[in-house]
């Protein structure tokens, strides 16, 4: 590993002045070429963590960029996320390049997982970063030694160069390979949405999102005022998100979101427009009545509910203790909110927080395949399979049954996913509505200004430049004594007096703080 002597002297000065953490010193002292190699190796380690342990980007990236300056960490973030977006395509290209190479060492290198990920990361950097292909290839060969595979330097150089050249790959590639989708997912998306729709938005799934959506509390100004402040004061082009009540769309995706006005004070938070629109479909809840947010982490829906339901009290349920603790911190200072650490499929763990009358509204953002948000969750393509989706569908039904059991008569259940698959969306709510007593599906109009389509079971958002993909459905529960043929939950005046669970809810909040719920 080559070290830059002048960089060493500068680094000692920075460490002495406490401007640089000691664990970042080695990286700073490296030559530019050695830094590129180190960046690739850190990217490979993060990819291994994500693929082999089925972890998310948000878990792997902080580890991979630990001790690095923001710019270096950003390169690793882009490399890992970008490689995952293109991985299925890159693997086919690497296989084709290995087949064209002489000798069996090329195949041995391609079949070795760390080396395969190293070559895929190098391909991404060749094609999607300012670094020259020559420099990237040299960094990849240097990375072989750091991985303990010096024997692979020559074959990796040959394979990466040939794969980057393409050599007719795209003229021979199938539709799934061009869109870098697993075969099963491509087949299901074509079956569910049609080939023309998928061809229209499919290329977006290979790109980093170009927009960022924020929800803005009234204390931070109207969406128009906030957008103007960003555009004039921060130089970030922004505008109100027309199909949401509190939304603002940024025509950029800044890395340091925490520096945006109002974010640190929790008056502004990140939430995709499709999710904001979904929360806004619930009818207003009476003073003191409970609104239940199941599978609540990381907390965007909970905070959106507090905006859209100013009179309600919020009960947020999250199974993970770590995520529940983070959610409490996110909602700190909200006197109308309580966080319960519990399994959403087991009402006995959280039902008491809703009060005797149950919840007037429930939001269930169900765990799903994430097939609608592959731009920001590209790891879903290596984590999910047709079998895992079948298991998720059963989990979604258990969650729906649990939510329904604590929904008060006349209440509403908002069901949302980040999926584009019918099995998790239309078929899931249709199946549940057919079995649940008193359940009716409320018709939803597709929002103007969004790429979406409405069906009797709900609204599907298709990925676009403006927003990500997902599904929103609204179920209503009939009043006491009414069956499926009665009025159901369609009368918006059914529960506005706030008398059903107000007293029990006030008593609950009077004796329970968010920090005490475990």
Cα(159)–Cα(109) distance, integer angstroms: 9
E strand or H helix that includes residue 275 = helix 273-279
Nearest to 508 by CA among 341, 357, 319, 284: 357
> Locate tokens 């079971």: which residue?
457
**What beta strand segments (E) does 342-426 contain?**
359-365, 407-417
Judge whether 77 and 378 are in contact, CB under 8 Å. Answer: no
Q: Which candidate, 101, 381, 204, 66, places its Cα nearest to that of 119?
A: 101
Tokens representing 117? 């990920």
**Considering only CA atoms, which of 230, 310, 297, 324 is closest in space to residue 268?**
230
The residue written with tokens 């965007």 in the block is 300
Which residue in the block uniquely carries the two structure tokens 């390979």? Answer: 177
Closest CA to 410 of 283, 235, 236, 262: 283
Dist CA 122 CA 137 (whole Å)? 7
Task: Report the catalytic residues.
Answer: 418
- Cα–Cα distance, 167 to 425 (Å, whole number): 41
Three-state SS annotation for 407-459: EEEEEEEEEEECCCCHHHCHHHHHHHHHHCCCEEEECCCCCCCCCEEEECCEE
Q: Are strands 470-477 and 458-461 parallel, antiparallel or unpaired?
A: antiparallel
Helical segments of 54-69, H only: 57-64
Taking CB atoms within 8 Å and a gap of at least 24, the contacts of 178-184 are: 178/89, 179/89, 179/203, 179/205, 179/206, 180/85, 180/86, 180/87, 180/88, 180/89, 180/90, 180/205, 180/206, 180/381, 181/88, 181/205, 181/381, 182/88, 182/381, 182/384, 182/385, 184/385, 184/386
């Amino acid at each position: 590993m080559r070290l830059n002597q002048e960089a060493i002297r500068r680094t000692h000065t920075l460490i002495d002045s406490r401007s640089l953490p000691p664990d970042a010193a080695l990286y700073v002292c490296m030559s530019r070429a050695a830094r590129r190699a180190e960046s690739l190796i850190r990217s490979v380690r993060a990819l291994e963590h994500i693929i082999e342990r089925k972890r998310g980007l948000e878990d792997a990236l902080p580890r991979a960029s630990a001790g690095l300056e923001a710019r270096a960490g950003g390169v690793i973030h882009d490399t890992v996320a970008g490689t995952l977006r293109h991985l299925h395509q890159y693997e086919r290209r690497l296989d084709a390049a290995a087949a064209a190479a002489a000798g069996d060492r090329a195949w041995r290198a391609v079949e070795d997982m760390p080396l395969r990920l190293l070559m895929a990361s190098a391909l991404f950097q060749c094609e999607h970063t300012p670094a020259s292909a020559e420099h990237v290839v040299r960094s990849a060969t240097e990375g072989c030694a750091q991985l303990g595979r010096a024997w692979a330097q020559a074959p990796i150089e040959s394979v990466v160069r040939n794969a980057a050249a393409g050599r007719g790959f795209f003229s021979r590639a199938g539709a799934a390979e061009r869109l870098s989708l697993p075969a099963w997912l491509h087949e299901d998306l074509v079956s569910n949405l049609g080939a023309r729709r998928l061809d229209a938005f499919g290329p977006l799934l290979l790109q980093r999102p170009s927009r960022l959506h924020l929800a803005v509390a009234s204390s931070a100004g109207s969406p128009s005022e906030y957008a103007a402040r960003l555009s004039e004061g921060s130089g970030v082009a922004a505008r109100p998100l027309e199909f949401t009540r509190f939304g603002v769309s940024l025509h950029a995706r800044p890395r340091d979101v925490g520096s945006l006005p109002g974010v640190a004070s929790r008056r502004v938070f990140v939430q995709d427009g499709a999710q904001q629109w979904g929360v806004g479909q619930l009818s207003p809840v009476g003073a003191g009545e409970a609104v239940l947010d199941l599978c609540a982490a990381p907390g965007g829906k909970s905070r959106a509910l507090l905006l859209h339901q100013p009179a309600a009290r919020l009960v947020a349920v999250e199974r993970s203790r770590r995520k529940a603790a983070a959610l409490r911190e996110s909602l700190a200072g909200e006197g109308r909110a309580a966080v319960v650490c519990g399994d959403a499929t087991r009402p006995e763990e959280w039902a008491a927080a809703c009060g005797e009358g149950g919840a007037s509204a429930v939001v269930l953002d169900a765990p799903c395949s994430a097939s609608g948000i592959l731009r920001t969750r590209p790891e879903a393509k290596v984590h999910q399979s047709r079998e895992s989706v079948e298991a998720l569908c059963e989990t979604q039904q258990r969650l729906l049954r649990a939510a329904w059991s604590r929904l008060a008569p006349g209440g509403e259940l908002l069901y949302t996913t980040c999926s584009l698959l019918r099995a998790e969306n239309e078929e899931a709510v249709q199946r549940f509505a057919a079995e649940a007593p008193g359940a009716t599906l409320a018709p939803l109009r597709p929002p103007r200004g969004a790429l979406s389509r409405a069906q009797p079971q709900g609204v599907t958002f298709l990925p676009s430049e403006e927003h990500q993909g997902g599904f929103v459905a609204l179920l209503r529960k009939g009043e006491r004594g009414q069956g499926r043929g009665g009025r159901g939950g369609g009368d918006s005046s059914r529960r506005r007096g706030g008398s059903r669970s107000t007293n029990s809810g006030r008593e609950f909040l009077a004796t329970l703080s968010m920090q005490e719920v475990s």
